[in-house]
Structure 1
Amino acid sequence: EEQRRLQIRHAKVEKILKYSGLMTPRDKDFITRYQLSQIVTEDPYNEDFYFQVYKIIQRGGITSESNKGLIARAYLEHSGHRLGGRYKRTDIALQRMQSQVEKAVTVAKERPSKLKDQQAAAGNSSQDNKQANTVLGKISSTLNSKNPRRQLQIPRQQPSDPDALKDVTDSLTNVDLASPGSSSTGSSAAAVASKQRRRSSYAFNNGNGATNLNKSGGKKFILELIETVYEEILDLEANLRNGQQTDSTAMWEALHIDDSSYDVNPFISMLSFDKGIKIMPRIFNFLDKQQKLKILQKIFNELSHLQIIILSSYKTTPKPTLTQLKKVDLFQMIILKIIVSFLSNNSNFIEIMGLLLQLIRNNNVSFLTTSKIGLNLITILISRAALIKQDSSRSNILSSPEISTWNEIYDKLFTSLESKIQLIFPPREYNDHIMRLQNDKFMDEAYIWQFLASLALSGKLNHQRIIIDEVRDEIFATINEAETLQKKEKELSVLPQRSQELDTELKSIIYNKEKLYQDLNLFLNVMGLVYRDGEISELK
């Protein structure tokens, strides 16, 4: 009996080994992306392996056996950025957001050197005046009793134009931005009531979102809306394939974007279901810019009512399930990708300011920052605005009222976060719970440091000092965690006997240590600082 079992096992192993190596990890990754392309991609033909091969054959007339290598090479060239291919068109929303933050930080790194060049050009011969502005104040380059190493001179904040916010807010009428001071008495009262309703309803006793569904017509009504939207999308896609004219009016009406008869907009409740999230890229294919902007306005306007915000906040969902975490990942992969793509390619500075202003006015910002999704959305807005502002500083595209308005909006955002910034870091118990669920030994908090970097980048010196003061404990906790990993790395490196499991653990420790330093320095670099060789020093 034992021998028979061994023979069966041996036969299975031989069968597996027969095809072992036929597909590389690159091939498997590509096929997986192809299978998912119909769900998440906005460019299905680029992702379709069979279409690419067909196009190559038709274009080059490849039929002989000797020319099949050209197909293989073309396949590798279309394998996407994760596979090292030439056409790097695969897009991940969080990666694009991170690249925006890193690009903005790179520009900020140049500030200290530019400041020194300006001081040198000014010809200040006196050593007393050789100073550089940093988050710690003015740092003197001399070192004696009369001029100590660090001299704190906090600059006075210049009073902003009180009419600047109103001037530019009035110009936001083309993006349907509700301004409390510009509407009639009735609509203004309704806007205030709506604002109070949204602000007061962020902390739900029922974490599964049932309260929201009841406020938007009930679960059955929302599911019927999703089915209606799917039917309209299928009709539009069929017309598109047949070369017929497409009219998205019925689909737009089915979304109920302009429906104000419910406490919670039905479209917001549609995003409580996976099916409602997955259909969004296909919906956006049939919308014009103004319709896309309206959808984004609705999302940011009622952000606190999104079920995904409730699920991803450690305050309302202190012990999320694995299913809930997968739902958060799905939202990040699809909805955040859509938002990042629109803001990067189709929106201007005024529209971004309008979205951020709606978020601040109609939501509890401090609660949103306890949510991973909420924090990522705020990061997307302020990092994109910072990039536009930096680009315009070279070409003088932005007007003085626009810059003044941005400063006003940023001050509103910062005021709503002041004294609560440290709350963006989840408690240890929450992180431990997630690591146990996902079987991980390391909690990636890069999204938090990206938010802090964007917030500091858009602020002035006094804002940066407040941020540093509030997250000081978290900075040192991150440094201590990295140093603990470094000690563990040294202990494992000197062990005489090495196994594959030990090497894997060592590589993981090294990666996590470098990741902690990288995330921390992303934040510190914005303020002209860097953690290096065991201490925080000025960025050279």
Structure 2
Amino acid sequence: MTQYEKELIAKIQISQLVTDDPYTDDFYYKVFSLLNGKGGAGTPVSSTTSSRGGLNWQQSMLMTQKEGGRSGTLNISTHMQNQMQRLIEGRKQKPKGTSLALEGALGKISLTSVKNPKQLIQIQEHSVPSFAHLSQKKVLRTIEDAYVIVLNLEQLKRKPPADDEVEKWNQDFDENSKQLWSLLGLSEPVAYNMPHPLAYFLSYPKGKRIFPRVTRFLLLDQMIVLFTALLSRLESLDVCNLPCTANGEKPHEEVEIFMTNCLPPLVGLVSELPMHILNSCMRLLLERHNMVWLAKSKVGLAILTMFLSRAEILKQGGAQQGVPHPTESDLAVWTDYYNFLFGSLHTHFASIFPKTDPASAPVQSSVESASTASPQGRQTPGQSTASSDEVYLWQFLAALAVGATTVDHQKVLVSEVREKVIETSKRNDNPKAIANVNLFLNALGLGIDAAQLAAMP
């Protein structure tokens, strides 16, 4: 039993002994007094009691109770209720002790009970955003709302307002634009430990397909905010967690939808960024993600290639009109980021290629080969799916080779992908694969092409 239960039972027992007239309420004392024909100590025998001498003690007790009537019972009940009420109030006012300090002890001993168990983990309660627990139904509803808003904005764009309706047109356009911005979850910052609504939005094919139409109604500053939010949440995108397809495998449909619909607006944005904003985006990417993990996905390599290509254009003075030229400090910062990226991928360049298994590649009969061949003797696009999917891999390596800051970088690239280069160069039946290798070799500036490598013993 707990200490509280012991105290409660003791109070119940004591409450039965509390009375205003102990001589009257004491049964044994009253029987003893009746049997002896006298009152108790301190209690004189009344005339009523003495006149009942001929009655036995049971009849005398009964007569006394009847004379007392109901008023005595009510007084006792009321007294008991008042006493229990005082006990309850006192219990509430008494502070609950959670620790015990003993004399001579160095600290306090925590007291635990059923109502106060020992806390193993201290959890701080905080407000959870409404989008923290987005169900599939809510996300799909958000995408449908985005479609409706985009249709409204496109309708407003197609029908210019009359002279007397310009103010109302601007008000409707601004209101729809704010609603669209709020649906994407970009109106307020989101902590990194919380899921972002934009990642949920782009996790469904319908969200990916509406993305380019959404970006048409965003300003440049809003596009930068959207892009940085996307860079910080790449681990939440389904397309970044899908590995590269191997030889003979069908590309992932979700990846193709993202590359077709979502990547072009981002390429257009990166092509307009100055060097200092590009450095900020690159730093965010390097701090938030593991480069080895990112380089093994098609979308991750495409984003890295965008950054490398844009930086090389700015370094060579190819900035558009209105874009400031990079300063020396901006170029030095980019060099540090490039070296960090290269160092992160060192000894992992060969692993970004999908593993190919010749035994698992589909084998075609002579009849099937003749039916899939073109009249010029070349293969159709469907037969070179794997090689066309490897374009983004070779483009990334070519961008790294062009932006190499030292000769050691080029040596590392050549030594790590040497076997892959020779293997692809010997695939004379696939002109696209040969073109991919030539792209990488030209970026290195070695003055050699895939045909010469294939002719070497």
TM-score range, shorter chain: 0.5 to 0.7
The match for 2:199 is 268
The match for 1:288 is 219
Q: Distance in 2 between matches of 1:362 and 1:386?
A: 23
Q: By how many angstroms is 1:252 displaced?
A: 0.5
The match for 2:108 is none
The match for 1:226 is 143
The match for 1:458 is 403
Q: Distance in 2 between matches of 1:333 and 1:286?
A: 19
* Deviation by residue 1:430-457 (Cα, 9 ceiling, x = unmatched): 9957999x96355222211111010111
The match for 2:183 is 254
Q: Distance in 2 between matches of 1:389 and 1:309?
A: 29
Q: Which amino acid aligns with 2:436?
A: D
Kindly tell me: are residues 228 and 441 of structure 1, through their superposed partners in 2, closer, same or farther at Cα, counting changes over 3 Å? closer
Q: Which amino acid aligns with 1:411?
A: N
Kindly tell me: are residues 300 and 475 of structure 1, through their superposed partners in 2, closer, same or farther at Cα, counting changes over 3 Å? same
Q: Distance in 1 between matches of 2:394 and 2:436?
A: 6
| Residue in structure 2 matching 1:427, options 348, 351, 355 | 355
Kindly tell me: are residues 439 and 518 of structure 1, through their superposed partners in 2, closer, same or farther at Cα, counting changes over 3 Å? closer
Kindly tell me: are residues 534 and 281 of structure 1, through their superposed partners in 2, closer, same or farther at Cα, counting changes over 3 Å? closer
| 1:446 matched to 2:391 | yes
Kindly tell me: are residues 451 and 215 of structure 1, through their superposed partners in 2, closer, same or farther at Cα, counting changes over 3 Å? farther
The match for 2:78 is none
Q: Which amino acid aligns with 1:456?
A: A
Decide whether the 8 Å contact of 2:247 with 2:356 is kept in 1. Answer: no
Q: Which runs of 5+ in 1 are unaligned?
A: 1-213, 486-508
**Given the two structures, how large is their TM-score scaled by the length of structure 1?**
0.49
Q: Distance in 2 between matches of 1:357 and 1:303?
A: 14
Kindly tell me: are residues 434 and 219 of structure 1, through their superposed partners in 2, closer, same or farther at Cα, counting changes over 3 Å? farther
Alignment of 1:127-276 (within 5 A): 217-242=134-159, 243=161, 244-245=169-170, 246-247=173-174, 248-257=177-186, 258-260=188-190, 263-276=194-207
Q: By how many angstroms is 1:291 displaced?
A: 0.4
Kindly tell me: are residues 399 and 432 of structure 1, through their superposed partners in 2, closer, same or farther at Cα, counting changes over 3 Å? farther
Give 3-state SS (helix, strand or coil) of 2:317's partner: helix
| Residue in structure 2 matching 1:410, options 338, 350, 354 | 338
Kindly tell me: are residues 308 and 216 of structure 1, through their superposed partners in 2, closer, same or farther at Cα, counting changes over 3 Å? farther
**Given the two structures, how large is their TM-score scaled by the length of structure 2?**
0.57
Q: In proportion to residue count, which structure has more helix?
A: 1
The match for 1:343 is 270
Decide whether the 8 Å contact of 1:312 with 1:328 is kept in 2. Answer: no
Q: By how many angstroms is 1:251 displaced?
A: 1.2
| Residue in structure 1 matching 2:238, options 293, 307, 313 | 307
Q: Which runs of 5+ in 2 are unaligned?
A: 1-130, 162-168, 365-380
Q: By how many angstroms is 1:425 displaced?
A: 0.6
Q: By how many angstroms is 1:351 displaced?
A: 1.8
Q: By how many angstroms is 1:292 displaced?
A: 0.5
| Residue in structure 2 matching 1:376, options 296, 302, 319 | 302
Bigger-Rg structure (1/2): 2
Q: Distance in 1 between matches of 2:311 and 2:360?
A: 34
Give 3-state SS (helix, strand or coil) of 1:475's partner: helix
Identity of aligned residues (%): 27
Q: Which amino acid aligns with 2:395?
A: Q
The match for 1:352 is 278
Q: Which amino acid aligns with 2:416?
A: E
Kindly tell me: are residues 228 and 239 of structure 1, through their superposed partners in 2, closer, same or farther at Cα, counting changes over 3 Å? same
* Deviation by residue 1:290-314 (Cα, 9 ceiling, x = unmatched): 1011111111111122111123445
Alignment of 1:8-157 (within 5 A): none
Q: Distance in 2 between matches of 1:320 and 1:265?
A: 35
Q: Which amino acid aligns with 1:467?
A: L
| Residue in structure 2 matching 1:279, options 210, 217, 223 | 210
Q: Distance in 2 between matches of 1:524 and 1:320?
A: 25
| Residue in structure 1 matching 2:316, options 364, 386, 390 | 390
Give 3-state SS (helix, strand or coil) of 2:386's partner: coil
Decide whether the 8 Å contact of 2:234 with 2:240 is kept in 1. Answer: yes
Decide whether the 8 Å contact of 2:240 with 2:299 is kept in 1. Answer: yes
- Report the aligned-residue RMSD: 3.2
* Deviation by residue 1:25-45 (Cα, 9 ceiling, x = unmatched): xxxxxxxxxxxxxxxxxxxxx
Kindly tell me: are residues 385 and 372 of structure 1, through their superposed partners in 2, closer, same or farther at Cα, counting changes over 3 Å? same
* Deviation by residue 1:447-482 (Cα, 9 ceiling, x = unmatched): 1111101011111211111111111111121123x2
Q: Which amino acid aligns with 2:202?
A: L
Q: By how many angstroms is 1:237 displaced?
A: 2.5
* Deviation by residue 1:505-529 (Cα, 9 ceiling, x = unmatched): xxxx3xx2x3333221211122221
* Deviation by residue 1:377-424 (Cα, 9 ceiling, x = unmatched): 11111111111111269x993211011011011111112111111111
Q: By how many angstroms is 1:352 displaced?
A: 1.9
The match for 2:440 is 523
Kindly tell me: are residues 431 and 411 of structure 1, through their superposed partners in 2, closer, same or farther at Cα, counting changes over 3 Å? farther
Kindly tell me: are residues 435 and 522 of structure 1, through their superposed partners in 2, closer, same or farther at Cα, counting changes over 3 Å? farther
